[in-house]
A and B are shown apart, each in its own frame.
Chain A
């Protein structure tokens, strides 16, 4: 069974914010939440990760629910280069459990 669930696809207009949701209701206390994205014909690329508190970096923000059963990846201004499959991942120790991913389409 998948440890995370994500919508199959989402669309966003260019330069608009994008909120990508993820549910991980079986998360344990020591699991980290990672987000990676994968462009066509490339390996996954790190976006952001967190444990309990919200996190910001130059690429995105990660909002984690208080009960940690869900999280949201926020891209503040979508660009055409952000079109990719976004994976929400539970990291237990040195194992990554990939979700099924959300394919993001950015509309010019």
Chain B
């Protein structure tokens, strides 16, 4: 199984809502990543988890809260988002922490009203 799955595919939420994005991989990868991609722009790194511990937070606002419950699962909890947070949220995983190929999921398309 060489797939990274993300749910939901699409999400519409209000600025006062709380929602979560989910990412799962069963390749035994020990590093997992969240990226944000705005339309016609490249992906931007948000968070890196290595061996289930947060190793990089690229100065992401606290309204985004990542969680790694186990080595296969990565969540992104969303609260009090702004309309400018609307974007494609991509999850990726890699075998090790450094210099490895990253496998990307299809993304969750988030719209904040």
A binding-site residues for B, Cβ under 8 Å: 32, 34, 36, 41-46, 49, 87, 91, 93-96, 98-101
Contact = CB atoms under 8 A, between A and B. Distances in A.
10 contacts: A44-B92, A45-B104, A93-B97, A94-B48, A94-B50, A94-B56, A95-B45, A96-B43, A98-B42, A98-B44
A99 B43 CA distance: 9
A46 B102 contact: yes
Among A36, A94, A96, residue most surrounded by chain B Cβ atoms (within 10 Å):
A94
A42 B88 CA distance: 10
A94 B31 contact: yes
B101 A94 contact: no
B66 interface: no
Interface of B: 4, 31, 41-45, 48, 50, 55-56, 90, 92, 94, 97-107
Given A94-B48, A96-B45, A98-B42, A43 B99 contact: no
B43 A98 contact: yes
A28 B4 CA distance: 30
Nearest to A43: B104
A2 to B, nearest CB: 9
A94 B99 CA distance: 6
Contacts of A95: 45, 48, 56
